[in-house]
Amino acid sequence: MGAVKTKRMPRAVREQQMLDAAVRIFGRRGYMAASMDEIAELAGVSKPLVYLYLNSKESLFTACIRREAEALVEAVRAGVRRELPADRQLWEGLDAFFTHTSRNPDGWAVLHLQARTHGEPFAAVVTAMREEIVVFVTQLIVDAAREAHRDPHLPGREVAGLAEALVGAAESLAAWANATPGTTARQAAATLMNFAWAGLGDLMDGRPWSPPEPDQDAQDRGQTGGSAETSPTR
Amino acid sequence: MGAVKTKRMPRAVREQQMLDAAVRIFGRRGYMAASMDEIAELAGVSKPLVYLYLNSKESLFTACIRREAEALVEAVRAGVRRELPADRQLWEGLDAFFTHTSRNPDGWAVLHLQARTHGEPFAAVVTAMREEIVVFVTQLIVDAAREAHRDPHLPGREVAGLAEALVGAAESLAAWANATPGTTARQAAATLMNFAWAGLGDLMDGRPWSPPEPDQDAQDRGQTGGSAETSPTR
Amino acid sequence: MGAVKTKRMPRAVREQQMLDAAVRIFGRRGYMAASMDEIAELAGVSKPLVYLYLNSKESLFTACIRREAEALVEAVRAGVRRELPADRQLWEGLDAFFTHTSRNPDGWAVLHLQARTHGEPFAAVVTAMREEIVVFVTQLIVDAAREAHRDPHLPGREVAGLAEALVGAAESLAAWANATPGTTARQAAATLMNFAWAGLGDLMDGRPWSPPEPDQDAQDRGQTGGSAETSPTR
Amino acid sequence: MGAVKTKRMPRAVREQQMLDAAVRIFGRRGYMAASMDEIAELAGVSKPLVYLYLNSKESLFTACIRREAEALVEAVRAGVRRELPADRQLWEGLDAFFTHTSRNPDGWAVLHLQARTHGEPFAAVVTAMREEIVVFVTQLIVDAAREAHRDPHLPGREVAGLAEALVGAAESLAAWANATPGTTARQAAATLMNFAWAGLGDLMDGRPWSPPEPDQDAQDRGQTGGSAETSPTR
DNA sequence: TATGAATGAGAATTCATTCAT
DNA sequence: TATGAATGAATTCTCATTCAT
């Protein structure tokens, strides 16, 4: 099991192997239940080497969190075209988010489940990343109001709460989509977009938010999109 | 800080003391980091007694999860009057949920953070409880559609996703409300209700969902309600 | 090897067994080279029990040092009759000191070799004990001067240096006596007493200090004394 | 702090750098607590080079002990003019000894504290050196007796004990002088010389041994001598 | 009902030491 | 002459769990 034992490789490479193994073990077993022995074995190296490069279990865990947080933020950032209208940006962000988390479930487990469960030092990194995303979403909500030429009657705290709810719903859906076979990132994004933008009330009235044309959009980004399930234009 | 050392009390009482202590420790330290020593000390009994009554750490943890899950479901159930319209039922359920979690943060931490992070046996209990709630919410959505005499054009999976998103948002807001000083359960419920029912689109258009009259409602349930921040009738 | 495995004994007894074992191992191997495993085995208990009672290697070592230091000081104190003239007191103190160290070589090694070699926290305990003894000796020197009705022309620092030298010589002779077969505590005490009181110069002139009558003295204290080798009355 | 990193230097030089570093680390941390990593870093070389030149930790430690022992014996030997009377020789030896140990505290710590605390192989080297010095001192005592034209009534073992006590007192005073600010090597030597030669009894009677004239003596040896504190000529 | 005494099993971490270049 | 990469073997310490009373 674990990586093939290739001897004598440069430090940078070994470090990534170790982080790969650590993310996998931490994500599945949890921080405390993960043992350095298991991580080292999965990485195909001896324990002392793990300590030599990553210093301690805490520091290894932190390195995992940091790497995964940066990768996630980067994935979302790269998936959003800032010149589009706010709702389209939100859609793209959600799509990128669900895509990344579904492709990288262990990393997502580290961020979403493990990091938050083991005290300030670790949680802080995730909190910072989450804050970045919440701020981004908050801005999108404000932009959307401006684009609608409306005074949204929304005080600051209210907007914060909405952004928080949206991000929370996304996080939760990510786990659900991963656990529900046959659910694509695109479908999860569409569901949430509808929920967030149109609301249950409008959905009851048959007025969902309209996701972009899947085919055309896929061509734009080079992705193979399944069609969102609820898509009549409002 | 532990319970006052009273010797020789009936088993049922001792067990509750132990569970109280265990929930507190598990909620704060996490499952793995919690030690049976600390739990026994906080419960004011010797370790062998904990084992005599609760058998093992796993079994103790399971008992905690079960107790807290039942308490939460019961709190929500008791808070909802099933004869009201769907949106009012949802509102009452959210209110009851946020109230319970804010009053019982350690129990909530056990359910939301710890139980899900330590493998199937534990997660299963929470999943079952969550499923109960998701089913309830799903039913509410279907009811709402029926009440609106509409065919909502929503396939089953889509409704499941919406309920999932709603519950996820609620869970996330619970943590946020607990962590944000000055945020009441009622405000959290109002924010989420708006978000869920009206959606961002409608909120942009100045058409939020209308929460019930706080004063009258408070009289109904015996609570002192702060007024929801976004409340013009639609 | 190690103590006979007698199960289930009261804590206080087990603790002494552990300290006995620890003193022996620390004294022979040194602090760092001693392993908790070895100590536990020699004590006839499991390692966790050692930790349960003594908390850590450091704390165990400290407990050893403290116990041995107190035992040594007590032995010297009990061996000296304070109503005698200064030189007799010094003699009795030296005799008690060499007797104790020769009967308890591991304890002496802990104090003299190990404790001083492993940093402030440990050395401090020994330093305090040594200071107590140096103060006692200093007082004896001053008393001796007073008894001789002399102004000894000795400034404070000089007396301190003399006491220090005397104690140092004693410490060194203790190791030598232990390592040189056939050397009794009484002989060591006599040699040092001569050296200290008469000085090499007087010894050259055939004027040594006179130790007390061995037989009579032994009767006083219940000890079987070998006769000191250099004993003509001055 | 380590040596400046100069690449490619002759083996002999590198070896001395390593020994310098090792003496410092061993002297401060102790044998077991010293790590080869730290020593290599302080020496400014890689660990494998240390092994290439010095073979092992044990062998490195032995090399340190040997070097420091030789340096100390050589310093004492060079400080004593063998043509002087015995007491003057003793005085010069003590002065040289205290001077060397105070200038080289890490080396002295290695010899006095570390080497004796870590088993026969190491202690043996120091014991041999010490023996050399004890023999020298023993000879001085015998010489002194001969010079006094006296039969000192001192059997061999007694003389050995006296020499042992004298050397032990010197070792102890060296640590004391190093730890007591403002105490010079010369003062320490004077104190001990008085103690050893005159003895407490004579000191009480106001008849100390007379140290040589500091100024004249300093001219002899090229040292700036502080005056000894107790110096009336006998 | 209740507990003081005790341990097997495993956790993180460190170190002296070597290999391949 | 010199080193980056790598490890086997301990070491300290903790924990869930049980026994005997």
Q: Measured between alpha carbons, how far is A215 from D56 in angstroms, rounded to an integer?
A: 70
Give the CA diameter of chain D.
65
CB of residue A16 closer than 7 A to nucleic acid strand F?
no
Helix axes B185-193, B156-179, angle to 10 degrees: 150
Residue B226 above 90 pLDDT?
no
Q: Which stretch, A183-192, C94-103, D194-203, has highest mean pLDDT?
A: C94-103
- Shared-domain flag, residues C130 and C98: yes
> Is the same domain home to C210 and C116?
yes
Distance C190 CA to F15 C1' (A): 56
CB pairs under 8 A between A and B: 177
Nucleotides of F under 7 A from a protein CB: 1-21
What does the pLDDT read at residue A158? 77
Å between CA of C105 and C1' of F1: 49
Residue B218 has pLDDT above 50, yes or no: no
Give me the helix-helix angle, D185-193 and D86-103, nearest 10°.
140
Q: Which nucleotide is nearest to D36 (CA to C1')?
A: E16
Average pLDDT over residues A50-77: 97
Q: What is the DSSP letter of B225?
A: P
pLDDT given at position B198: 80
Whether D211 and D229 have beta carbons less than 8 Å apart is answered as: no
| Partner-chain contact A172 B164, CB within 8 Å | yes
- Residue whose pair of structure tokens reads 């943590």 in the numeric block: B175
Across the range D104-109, mean pLDDT stands at 95
CATH for C155: 1.10.357.10
Q: Is the CB of C51 under 7 A from strand F?
A: yes
Q: How confident is the model at residue A195 (pLDDT cuts 50, 70, 90)?
A: confident
Residue D32 has what DSSP assignment?
Answer: T
Residue from the list B30, B167, B230 with its beta carbon closest to the beta carbon of A158: B230
Confidence at residue B219, expressed as pLDDT on a 0 to 100 scale:
46
D67: closest CA of chain C, how far (Å): 21
Q: How many residues are recorded in chain D?
A: 234
The pLDDT value recorded for residue C114 is 94
- Asked whether the predicted pLDDT for residue C1 surpasses 50, the reply is no
Contact in structure between C61 and C123 (CB atoms under 8 Å): no
Over the stretch B164-192, which tens digit does the pLDDT of each residue have? 999 999 999 998 888 888 889 998 998 89
At residue A121, does pLDDT exceed 60? yes
Strand E within 7 A of B234 CB? no
Residue D232 lies in a domain: no
For B206, the closest chain A residue by CA position comes to A152
pLDDT band at A143 (very low <50, low <70, confident <90, very high): confident
Residue D27: inside a domain: no
Flag whether pLDDT at B32 surpasses 90.
yes
Whether residue C108 contacts residue C171, with contact meaning beta carbons closer than 8 Å, is answered with: no
Which protein residue has its CA closest to C1' of F3? D46
Give the angle C46-C47-C49 at the CA atoms, nearest 5°. Answer: 75
Do residues C100 and C38 share a domain?
Answer: no
Instruction: Judge whether D77 lies within some domain.
Output: yes
Among D45-59, D84-98, D185-199, name the one with the lowest average pLDDT: D185-199
The answer to whether position D192 is within a domain reads yes
pLDDT of residue A20: 98
Q: Is the pLDDT of residue D218 over 70?
A: no
Q: CA of A60 and C1' of E6: distance in angstroms?
A: 36
Assess if residue B76 is contained within a domain: yes
Identify whether C231 is part of a domain: no
Please list every residue in chain A whose beta carbon sits closer than 8 Å to the beta carbon of residue B106: none
Which chains pack against A, by 3+ Cβ pairs within 8 A? Answer: B
A202-234 residue pLDDT tens: 766 666 666 555 444 444 444 443 333 443 334
Give the side-chain half-sphere CA count within 13 A for D117.
32
Distance, in Å, from the CA atom of D23 to the CA atom of D16, rounded to the nearest integer, reads 10
Mean pLDDT over A86-104 rounds to 94
* pLDDT (mean) for D197-222: 60
Chain B CB contacts of A85 under 8 Å are none
pLDDT value, residue C225: 38
Q: What is the pLDDT of residue D154?
A: 61
Q: Which residue has the higher pLDDT, D137 or C59?
A: C59
Q: Clarify whether residues C43 and C104 are in a common domain.
A: no
pLDDT at D208: 67
How far lies A14's CA from each of A7, A70, B197, in Å? 10, 20, 51
Rounded CA separation B130/B120 (Å): 14
Please report, as a single letter, which amino acid is at residue C152: P
pLDDT at position B174 is 93
Tally DSSP H helices, then E strands, for chain C: 10, 0
More confidently predicted of A113 and B142: A113
Residue A191's CB is within 10 A of a number of other CB atoms, namely: 29
What does the alpha-carbon distance between residue B100 and residue B107 come to, in Å, rounded to a whole number? 10
For residue C109, give the chain D residue with the closest CA: D117
Q: Which two tokens stand for residue A27?
A: 């994500």
Query: Residue B149's pLDDT is what?
Result: 67
- In chain C, residues with a C-beta closer than 8 Å to the C-beta of D169 are 165-166, 168-169, 172
Longest dimension (CA), chain A: 65
Backbone angles phi and psi of D230, in degrees to 5: -115, 95
Q: Do D173 and C164 touch (CB under 8 A)?
A: yes
The pLDDT assigned to A148 comes to 73
Q: Which domain holds residue C212?
A: 62-221
Distance C47 CA to E11 C1' (A): 15
Distance CA A118, CA D41 (A): 36
Shortest alpha-carbon distance between residue C75 and chain D (Å): 22
pLDDT of residue A6 exceeding 70: no
Helices and strands, counts by H and E, chain D: 11, 0
Task: Determine A/D contact with 3+ CB pairs under 8 A as the test.
Answer: no
Nucleotide at minimal C1' distance from the D46 CA? F3
| Percent of chain B clearing pLDDT 70 (strictly above) | 79
Say whether both C36 and C117 belong to one domain. Answer: no
C22 touches strand F (CB under 7 A): no
Q: Domain ends where: C39, C55, C71?
A: C55
- Domain of C17, CATH number, reads 1.10.10.60
Rounded distance between C-alpha atoms, residue A56 and residue A62, angstroms: 10
Residue B147 falls inside a structural domain: yes
Report the largest interatomic distance among the alpha carbons of chain C, rounded to a whole angstrom.
65
Identify the burial level of A2 via C-beta atoms within 10 angstroms of its C-beta, where 0-12 means exposed, 13-18 middle and 19 or more buried: middle
Is D198 or B28 the better-scoring residue by pLDDT?
A: B28
Taking the C-alpha atoms of residue D122 and residue A215, their distance in angstroms, rounded to an integer, is: 81
- Residue C154 reports pLDDT greater than 80: no
Encoded amino acid at D72, one letter = L
Number of domains making up chain A: 1
D46 touches strand F (CB under 7 A): yes
- Give, in order, the Cα–Cα distances in Å from D83 to each of C183, D80, D166, D219: 35, 9, 22, 18
pLDDT band at B234 (very low <50, low <70, confident <90, very high): very low
| Interval A155-179 mean pLDDT | 87
Tell me the pLDDT tens digit for each residue of B88-124. 899 999 999 999 999 999 999 999 999 999 988 899 9
- Smallest CA-to-CA distance from B100 within B170, B194, B191 is with B170
Q: Does residue C228 lie within any of the structural domains?
A: no
A66 touches strand E (CB under 7 A): no
CA gap C60, C54 in Å, rounded: 5
Residue C228 pLDDT: 38
Please tell me the distance from the alpha carbon of residue C204 to that of residue C187, in angstroms, as a whole number: 19
Which among D157, D162, D209 is the nearest to C201, CB-wise? D209
Mutate to test the interface with B, among A25, A195, A210 (most CBs of B within 10 A): A195
- SS3 at position D214: helix
pLDDT at position D234 is: 40
- Alpha carbons C49 and C54: distance in angstroms, whole number: 8
Backbone angles phi, psi at A13, to 5 degrees: -65, -50
Q: What is the mean pLDDT of residues B6-27?
A: 91
pLDDT for res C132: 92
